[in-house]
Every structure is written in C-alpha cells, then in structure tokens.
Structure 1
C-alpha cells in the first residue's frame, strides 16, 4: 500500500470534494456511453441454433422463455476441460442475485458453454449455482459468436476476439451477448462485450475499488480462486 498523508477532517473533506467532481463527470460519461450503446445498430440472427438444456433441446428463440430480451454469458468451459474457468466462476458467483431481478424486468439470463450438458450440470452442482446454463456442444454457436476458436483460424488471423484478430492460442474465451426478439419472433443480436468489459458484472470488484488496498492484485484476478477452493488454499498456506 502506498503511503498516505494524514490530514485534518477539514483537509480530508476538501480533497474528497475535488475527487467527487471527477467521480460525477465519470458517472455522466458512463451515462452517455450507455445511451450510445443503446443506439448501436443491430444484426438479425438468421441462423438456427439449438442448445442442450435440462429440459431437452431448445432453439435460441425458445431460450427467451417468454421474454423479449436475452442475456447470454459465454462461460469458459470447453468439452475437454475438467472444470470451469476461475475468472468466469468468479463472475458467476454474482449471477443468481441479479437474475432474481432480471427475470422480473423482461430479461432472461443464462450461461452457455461448449462443454456437454452433463459436465456443465456437474460443475454447476459443485458450485451451488441456480442460474440456467445451457450447452452449445453440437452447434457452431460459440465459434460464430467469437468465443471459441480453432487453432488453424488463430494462425491464419481469422479468429476474432473483442473485435480484433486473436493473437494468442486459446480455444475458449468469455463474453456477454444481448439479444432481442420482436413480436414477429425475429431475433437480433444487439450487443456483445468481451475481455475486461465483463468486469461490470463483478460486484466484488466494485467494492474492492473503494477499499484502502484497492484490488490488491499484481495481475488481473491473480488472487481469485473458485469459491470452494479458498479454504483449502488457506490450509495449505497455514501448514507451510
């Protein structure tokens, strides 16, 4: 932690008022960014995608579950992975509380991974999550939405992640995509974000950002563990 000047209450208040002006400008800038995001063009989803769910095979249209908006979190869990990504698991720990409100505000939220449904269900049970999670194992969905990649596409510069060519080998990455279904049943992809754009879903970070030590990390999420691994890690540390 960097050294801090200790001041009187009056000096503390004056310094924080100056900072508050910058915080307010940041809030106004974020509001403008949200407005610009809502004004972005959409693209129609003409391809038919099917997913494996606990209730059987469902199309993308059926995943809306009677609502007009669908948010899909692309969770990094490949067909041959033994467990889900640590960072995605950290983010997923924030989903269930938010989903309780989303489903009452015309938004269906779920996660999607390329792993088979049995593997998804087993990991979901281990972590104690309740949000819906479907498998795109038998479709091109993950590849079409730029979160799964073939090695030959990466080498040829055809693999796109976060709107630019992917320049390192990774078969699965994360992101969030928003969809809209109109009264005729037409589906549109309205927005996708990737990489650090997904930090907005992580309320833990928002709290850490106002703490004295901040995020207290030397690299992004280098301290994060799956929530059922913290206790075992602490035991190992104590024993050493």
Structure 2
C-alpha cells in the first residue's frame, strides 16, 4: 500500500497543514502539562513497607534522598511466571533516562506484587538496572487501583482509570504510573496517577514509529510488541534499496 504521490510543491502544502496541527497539539500538551502541575495533592497517611534488595523500606525511603518519586505499577503478580509484555516494553526505555531523572531530583522505582525473588529473576532476564521493589503483603497496589482481588473481580464493577469498569475488562493486575512528593519533614504526598494508555508517551519507540511511513502498523493496540528477547529475526521487506 502506498500513499498518493505528488509534486514537491504539493507535498510542502500538505506538510505545512500538518505542521499547524502538530503545533496545535504541542500547545495543547503544554497546557495539559501545566494543569497536571497545578493538581492538588493528597497526603499519604498509610505506612507501606516494601521488600527491596537492600531490605524492607517505607514509601519515604524509596525516594532515595530526592524529593520526587515516580512509581511504575509493573504488572507482575505473585503467581505470574513473567512480567507483562507491555510493561516490559515501556521499561526497556527507563535505564537510559535514569541519570537524567536522578540529576533532576526524581527517583524512578517499579513496584509489583510478585515476591522479590520473582522480580529479581525477571529483572535479570531483561537486563534492567532500575530499582524494582515488591509490595507483596501490603495494600499499596490495591489502594492505587492497579491490583484486584478475586473478591474485587466478583463484583459488578472494579475501579480503574478513575472510573468503574466491568470486571470482565479487568485483570488481577493492571498498569499505571503514580507520582509522589516528599517534603523536608518526611511527609509524602500523592500528586498524580495515570493508567491504561496514559503512560504511553514514555515509550519512545512508539513515538518513533508514529513518524515512520507505516506508523505503528498494528491490528490492535501494541499487538506487535514482544519482550525484547522473544522477537524472531524479521525477514527484510522487498525494497529497491540494496
């Protein structure tokens, strides 16, 4: 399949029209970013304890001396054999960003309900370096609406992405991103959460594909994605370039 082929002058006209839309989207994104920063905060009153390779840590400990914390709710349940493919896809983009985040007063931590040994094994398989801790045994995932008990799934609705949804559309684990702030007194505040496709902009590969001639070239959302060690060698497409 090939798009319409036109002269350079016609292409420039179409490209300028698209540029106007791109600039409009950029201004809208700037406005959304400003609104996100202006959100009110909620003080975290519960004492969560996480299992980490360095021992048990509180939520405040996870900040690692910084004032801002981004937590990625990684789908890896207690009885899962491997992490979620989509979460793994996003996480492939994290390690390179860590020095930039850390030097801008931001700590990144992944949290899953799987026991620490399962997390460590999958992290080693994927070759990742970012901090990843276990919330097994506490209610953190349930309180932030990314994990659901059998009792939750037996109800008429579960709460995800700020709205009730049919349990048939849910899973025992779902993805999300949450942000927290820690002040000089050690008080922690929940400032932001995003679910479903909300964290998609963190996936640089998708942003690159959006600019390729065929785009994401998918039948459904990210159905082409595999864990990075599960791809088969792709046959090269027929091309005039040799």
1:34 counterpart residue number = 33
Distance change >3 Å, CA 158–CA 58, structure 1 → 2: farther
CA contact (8 A) 1:160 1:166 kept: yes
Helix, strand or coil at the partner of 1:20: helix
Indicate the SS of the match to 1:218: coil
Which residue does 1:141 correspond to in 2? 140
The alignment's TM-score, normalised by the length of structure 1, stands at 0.94
Question: For 1:219 and 1:183, how far apart are their aligned partners in 2?
Answer: 46
8 Å Cα contact 1:157-1:165 kept in structure 2: no
Q: Decide whether the 8 Å contact of 1:71 with 1:177 is kept in 2.
A: yes
Partner of 2:115: 116
Instruction: After TM superposition, give the deviation of residue 120 of structure 1 in Å.
Output: 0.1
In the alignment, structure 1 residue 94 sits paired with structure 2 residue 93: yes
Distance 1:206 1:190, change over 3 A: same
**Per-residue deviation, 1:154:** 3.0
SS at match of 2:50: strand
1:48-79 alpha-carbon deviations (Å, 9 max, x no partner): 00000000000001000000000000000000
Residues 154 and 166 in structure 1, CA contact (< 8 A), matched pair in contact too: no
Query: Which secondary structure does the structure 2 equivalent of 1:176 belong to?
Result: strand
Q: Report the CA distance between 1:157 and its aligned residue.
A: 4.2
| d(CA) in 1 for partners of 2:29, 2:163 | 23
Write the distance in 2 (CA, Å) between the matches of 1:39 and 1:157: 34
**Which has the larger helix fraction?**
1
In structure 2, the residue matched to 1:76 is 75
Cα pair 1:49 1:59 within 8 Å, conserved: yes
**SS class of match (1:32):** helix
More displaced stretch, 208-217 vs 4-13: 4-13
SS for the counterpart of 2:76 is coil
Q: Note the C-alpha offset of 1:4.
A: 1.4
Gaps of 5+ in 2: 236-242
Q: Deviations over 1:132-164 (max 9, x none)?
A: 000000111110110000132233246311011
Whole-angstrom distance in 2 between the partners of 1:110 and 1:61: 12
Please list every run of 5 or more consecutive structure 1 residues that lacks an aligned counterpart in the other structure: 236-240
* Cα distance, 1:31 vs structure 2: 0.3
Which whole-Å CA distance do the structure 1 matches of 2:17 and 2:31 have between them?
22
Distance 2:75 2:152 in 1: 19
The equivalent of 1:126 in structure 2 is 125
8 Å contact kept, 1:78–1:115:
yes
- State the SS of the aligned residue for 1:230: coil
How many residues are matched? 233
Correspondence for 2:240: none
Runs of 4+ deviating beyond 4 Å:
none
Match of 2:84 in 1: 85
Give the whole-Å Cα distance in 2 for the aligned partners of 1:93 and 1:73: 13
| Aligned-pair CA distance for 1:179 | 0.1
User: 1:238 is matched with which residue?
Assistant: none
TM-score (norm 2): 0.93
In structure 2, the residue matched to 1:152 is 151
- Partner of 2:36: helix, strand, or coil? helix
